[in-house]
Amino acid sequence: MRLTKKGHACVRLEKGGRTLAIDPGAFSEEDAAVGADAVLVTHEHPDHFDEARLRAALEANPAAQIWTLRSVADQLSAVFPGRVHTVGHGDAFSTMGFEVEVHGELHAVIHPDIPRITNIGFVIDGSVFHPGDALTVPERPIDTLLLPLQAPWSKFAEIVDYIREVKPRTAYDVHDGLLSDFADPVYGRMLGPQGPGIGDTEHIRLSPGESTTL
């Protein structure tokens, strides 16, 4: 499976001539999901869910479909009739050659005064996990964690503890669109040998547009 990092929280996974896009939001490239055979959306925040980017993907590929939670599906079902599927925690489904499991229910706490919304994460082919905006620990071991590196709802200590608990073989940064160029060496150092330690996990940062084979 080939992983391509797109802007902010979006990634593309390619396997067997099929492409899966996850969270093509407003901080991602306008064509982040174009060419995808299926699109997964973790929650309704605009940096993860952008109707214009989804429309571009579904117009480019008349067979493409969207899988997401109810709060997003309710906004899209009338726009893309028959092409939007609602899923939740504990569900599993197949789409375009990918096997997907749904883990998680709620967005991380931003502040106690801000109501929490729903959020789901996706395990792809039993190997790759995108948690959306939550530090959900999937109910199975995984090889690759798409790590939400920075957000208004997180702090560095939580990120370290999250990696330690999930214990992936590799953690690739996502959710990094609010960071400046100065962040890369800082986070690289703190999640590397000079930091507090993340066990045997290898931390890797891909630039938008960069790909790797998992």
Percent of the chain with pLDDT over 90: 100
What is the reported pLDDT for 13?
Answer: 98
Nearest CA to 163 out of 184, 137, 188 is that of 137
Straight-line distance from the first to the last Cα atom of the chain, in angstroms, rounded to the nearest whole number: 6
What tens digit of pLDDT does each residue of 2-50 get?
Answer: 999 999 999 999 999 999 999 999 999 999 999 999 999 999 999 999 9
Taking only Cα atoms into account, the Rg of the chain, rounded to an integer number of angstroms, comes to 16
What tens digit of pLDDT does each residue of 133-186 get?
Answer: 999 999 999 999 999 999 999 999 999 999 999 999 999 999 999 999 999 999
Q: Tell me the pTM.
A: 0.97
What is the reported pLDDT for 202?
Answer: 98
Nearest CA to 130 out of 18, 55, 25 is that of 25
**Residues facing residue 11 across a β-bridge:** 5, 22
Nearest CA to 119 out of 173, 47, 71 is that of 71
Q: Give the domain CATH number at 188.
A: 3.60.15.10
What is the reported pLDDT for 28?
Answer: 98
Confidence of residue 130 (pLDDT cuts 50, 70, 90): very high
What is the reported pLDDT for 9?
Answer: 98
What is the reported pLDDT for 190?
Answer: 97
**Residues facing residue 14 across a β-bridge:** 2, 19
93's tokens: 């489904």
What tens digit of pLDDT does each residue of 57-79 get?
Answer: 999 999 999 999 999 999 999 99
Q: Which domain holds residue 165?
A: 2-213
- The position carrying tokens 């883990």 is 103
What is the reported pLDDT for 43?
Answer: 98
What is the reported pLDDT for 186?
Answer: 96
Confidence of residue 117 (pLDDT cuts 50, 70, 90): very high
Q: What is the distance between the alpha carbons of residues 90 and 93, in angstroms, rounded to a whole number?
A: 10
170's tokens: 């590799």
Phi–psi pair at 182, nearest 5 degrees: -70, -20
> In whole numbers, what is the pLDDT of the chain averaged over residues?
97
What is the reported pLDDT for 118?
Answer: 98
What is the reported pLDDT for 93?
Answer: 98
Q: Please count the structural domains in the chain.
A: 1
